[in-house]
Amino acid sequence: AGLAADVERGARAQEEGAAAGLEAAAHKMDQSVAIQETLSAEETCLATVQGILATEEGMESRLLSLIESHGKSMLCLYTHRRMAITAEDVCLDRVLLIQEGFAVEEVPPENNLQIPGSDVTVQVTSGGASLLVRLPFGSHTQTFLREVRRRCSPGKKDATAADPEQSAAGEVTGAPRLKTANKMVPSSSVPASGPTQGLSTRPCGLRDTLVKSLLKQKESSYTHLQNFRFFVGTYNVNGQSPRGSLRPWLSQDGEPPDIYCVGFQELDLSKEAFFFNDTPKEEEWFKAVTESLHPGAKYAKVKLVRLVGILLLLYVRTELAMNISEVEAETVGTGIMGRMGNKGGVAIRFQFHNSTVCVVNAHLAAHPEEYERRNQEVRDICARMQFHPLEPGCPLLAIKEHDVVLWLGDLNYRLEEQDMERVKKLIQTQDFQALHQHDQLKIQREAKLVFEGFQEGEISFQPTYKYNPGSDDWDDSAECRVPAWCDRILWSGKTVSLLSYQSHMALKNSDHKPVSAIFDVGVKVVDKKSYCKAFEGIVRSLDKMENASIPSVTLSKREFLFKDVKYLQLQVESFTISNGPVPCQFEFISKPNEDAYCKPWLIAKPSKGFLMPDSEVVIALELCVNKSTATALNSGEEKLEDILVLHLDRGKDYFLSVSGNYLPSCFGCPIQTLCYMKEPIREMLPEAIRELTLMPLLTDDAFWEEKPLDVPKELWMMVDLLCRSACHQEGLFQQPGLRPEFEQIRDWLDTGTLDVLGPVASNHSVAEALLLFLESLPEPVVCYKSYRSSLECANSYEMSSQVISMLPKCHQNVFYYLVAFLRELLKHTGKNHLDVNVLGKEIRMRDKATCFRTWSSPVLLGGRDRKNSVLYQYA
């Protein structure tokens, strides 16, 4: 109970901060919850976006909310504290009623330099009021503006920004504006098949898709390679602000680059940056980079993307800006719990002329022994980093689906078990080749365990880590880190040629040295006449192909059996679709009265696509049971059975049968059910599991003759093991566990063989399993029905105690048991470095269904008004 006050204070205060790490981008966060708390029951906040409002005093942040009240729509502007979490964090600034005369219009371009992909500036007009607001580029802004436009007065044609829908002439309209190093650069309408903008065409049906595919096949007939110079730089700045010019790093070459890709890591090490993804140092380093670009050319900023301390900047020479299109940015957090943004990657993808380029900036796990985790983080970034194409209906793009990939960052690979003095001696004699033989990244790449298909230039510079800040002297602190090449630049692509790869010792304000690479990249440039010739030839051939045949395909398999499916364990079954002589489009479609084409535990990849004549595609059916589906499968209410409908455009439907058996798991079981289970769940009859899972939540134990356990045995086993072996563990609940170990823990919990867990599973994996267990609870420890009353009683000890006493007995026991465990961890804070802020964030970040869901508010982490918290008094 004593810990609950502090932990729960952190849980609520960091709710949106955790979401920022999980979603990997602050601008995608929906802060509507805080706005809704200020409204009456008859008012609804439909959508909220954060923007920058131009005022007489300067540029100020505002929340723009679309609100419906008594049948009327209005746009409300709110001032706010950093990330709006509760009603206390926002204050109404002004209200604009959406009625006749209301409009949201893109600010007219200032010149002809136009690039899609950056922030959008719009002018909001209502009556006599006119506001200028800059909004972040992305799907969240697009959705917000689309909803505003829908509610404009009937008959009012509203020109709205950031809408990628295309005009009847086949042009992308409403592309966003771009801030440059020298000026504001508005984005353009992108021609559907212009010679410099690439071949993005409006997907109007089978014929257009076929034309696009055939054009892609004939690309070599109407394009030629032209070299452009790319500068790629990476710098871990160790939380420092820029001091002096960056030109020794960014402008050391005589010839100005055509494109700059500049990445930073550890931009800001403060807790505010981690929790709220907000830092003033972004602007500091952006300004420093902009002022240090090569003086021999003028540059426009194409895109900026940041995740906590990982920042990536993309610039292009202004005369080449018109050749940039389809700019998208994404982020992936791989840090705490494998999701948070203290580690991970950010990426920008774009089309340059007719070539696609993806630039990735990554900051991977530290410490010499964590090379396997670094490998896994690279795989996670590649798997989870997916870009949404501007054309609707097109599949997501992965990193490796680009012509050129440039990967930079503090990859943190070290030297394998090298003696400090021997390393320094090899550095002093500049025998970098001998030293490089012990480099972990080189070893892992040669073993094809990471960065397969990537290349790296020869390393002819001394290690870039670790120095005493402000000098070129090696680290002489108590840690005395062995020097290592942590900061690296790799690439993949057939048309990339490395010109230089070096470090820059002149910059001394960090414990790292910056690194740069200069490339000549062969880019596919379209020849207009050749393109028109190829296009006309394709159209003529299609006109002759008036084939009334119905598309037909052959499926290699139609029945799929998934055996012994376990919680959070992915199983994959594949089959091949072989097409006949007629091109066709295929798609899995939903059955009558169903919203999705498959059950929530199943997904088909790809779920739709296009097949050329006599071609084939492999479809993967992925089955994974998670917290949203486990409870019903445990109880037997749902079974692993489904029928998929594969539909061919202008053709017939094919039916695929999917079935399997699910092995019951304690993950996804209610607390009460587990307390009544004296045996491992795998040893119980399905009828008994179903009866215990479906029984109503009891306030006492009188309903059953058999006395239940005080807390679930599975919970006790994990907590007991952590109490015995992990109280001194540094980074507990912050460092993710290993997936194979989690799977072993899950099986041991479900089969009752936990007596052998200790020697096998690490403390981090057990902690991860504990959080996953709490996350999977269908009814949180503090029950849903007690949510509102617990918040209302937060400042009263007596009323708060009453809320706890009204919980079911098993939930009370678990609450007290977990609080006692966390308090025990805090007794050893000198060794494990845990505090209430860290514990509050990590216990809360998982989901609204975690154990402390309702004991959270902005004051519960020991910040403002700590002593007004009832749980502080209760402790």
More confident residue, 242 or 176: 242
Distance CA 768, CA 722 (A): 11
User: Is 80 exceeded by the pLDDT of residue 22?
Assistant: no
Question: Under a CB-based contact definition with an 8 Å cutoff, are residues 444 and 470 in contact?
Answer: no
With residue 839 as reference, give the H or E element that holds it. Answer: helix 836-844
Report residue 340's pLDDT band, with 50, 70 and 90 as the boundaries.
Answer: low
Among 705, 725, 627, smallest CA distance to 669 is for: 627
pLDDT in tens, 358-383: 999 999 999 999 999 999 999 999 99
Distance CA 90, CA 95 (A): 14
User: Is 70 exceeded by the pLDDT of residue 187?
Assistant: no
CA 159, distance to chain mean position in Å, is: 31
Q: Say if strands 223-236 and 184-185 run parallel, antiparallel, or are unpaired.
A: unpaired
pLDDT in tens, 197-236: 333 333 346 777 788 888 989 999 999 999 999 999 999 9
**Average pLDDT across the chain, whole number:** 82
CB-based burial label for 208 (10 Å; 0-12, 13-18, 19+)? middle
Under DSSP, is residue 647 helix (H, G, I), strand (E, B) or coil? strand
Show the tokens assigned to 11: 């849980």
Question: Under a CB-based contact definition with an 8 Å cutoff, are residues 4 and 875 in contact?
Answer: yes
| DSSP one-letter string for 807-823 | S-HHHHHHHHHHHHHHH
| DSSP one-letter string for 678-716 | -S-GGGS-HHHHHHHHHSPPPSSSTTSSSPPPSS-HHHH
Report residue 647's pLDDT band, with 50, 70 and 90 as the boundaries.
Answer: very high
pLDDT in tens, 751-793: 987 555 555 678 999 999 999 999 999 999 888 888 888 888 8
Q: What sign results for the dihedral spanned by CA atoms 491, 495, 498, 504?
A: negative
Show the tokens assigned to 33: 């919850």
Under DSSP, is residue 208 helix (H, G, I), strand (E, B) or coil? helix
Percent of the chain whose pLDDT exceeds 70? 80
Res 30: pLDDT? 57
Distance CA 374, CA 364 (A): 6
293 Cβ neighbours under 8 A, 6+ residues apart? 181, 250, 251, 260, 299, 315
98 Cβ neighbours under 8 A, 6+ residues apart? 72, 73, 74, 75, 126, 148, 151, 152, 153
Write the secondary structure of 250-296 as one string of H (helix), E (strand) and C (coil): HCCCCCCCCEEEEEEECCCCCHHHHHHCCCCHHHHHHHHHHHHCCCC
Report residue 50's pLDDT band, with 50, 70 and 90 as the boundaries.
Answer: confident
Res 234: pLDDT? 98
Distance CA 661, CA 639 (A): 8
Distance CA 823, CA 816 (A): 10
Distance CA 745, CA 756 (A): 10
Q: The whole model's pTM is what?
A: 0.55
More confident residue, 286 or 160: 286
Report residue 164's pLDDT band, with 50, 70 and 90 as the boundaries.
Answer: very low
Res 841: pLDDT? 62
Show the tokens assigned to 651: 């053709």
